[in-house]
Amino acid sequence: MTSGNATAGAVERAVRDDVEAMGDLVGVEPSLSEMAYRLAREIDGGGGEDGKLLPQLNRELRQTLAQLLEGRASDDDDDDLGDLGSPD
């Protein structure tokens, strides 16, 4: 773990672990991952305004993670197993 993870809360640690599992980041993925870390840190911190921002932060984190993974989904389709249902 990097030194930034040592003080991270549970959500931020989980996000960092998930992003790390993705391997090398390309294109806008480094920026999106930093956004995800920040959102996770805010969630771990209680969501601001006595937790009133938690729903919004959660939505933003989900959307950011989805966008981060979106580009990876097309790579998974090229696994040479996608045609198993074909009789050819």
Residue 2 pLDDT level (bands cut at 50, 70, 90): very low
Q: Quick check: 34 and 19 in contact, CB under 8 A?
A: no
Could you give phi then psi for residue 61, rounded to 5 degrees? Answer: -65, -45
Prediction pTM value = 0.75
pLDDT at 73: 74
40-75 per-position pLDDT tens digit: 999 999 998 898 999 999 999 999 999 999 877 765
**Comparison of pLDDT for 71 and 11, the residue scoring more:** 11
Spell out the domain ranges in the chain: 7-70
Q: What percent of the chain has pLDDT over 90?
A: 65
Mean pLDDT of the chain: 84
By the 8 A CB rule, do 75 and 65 touch? no
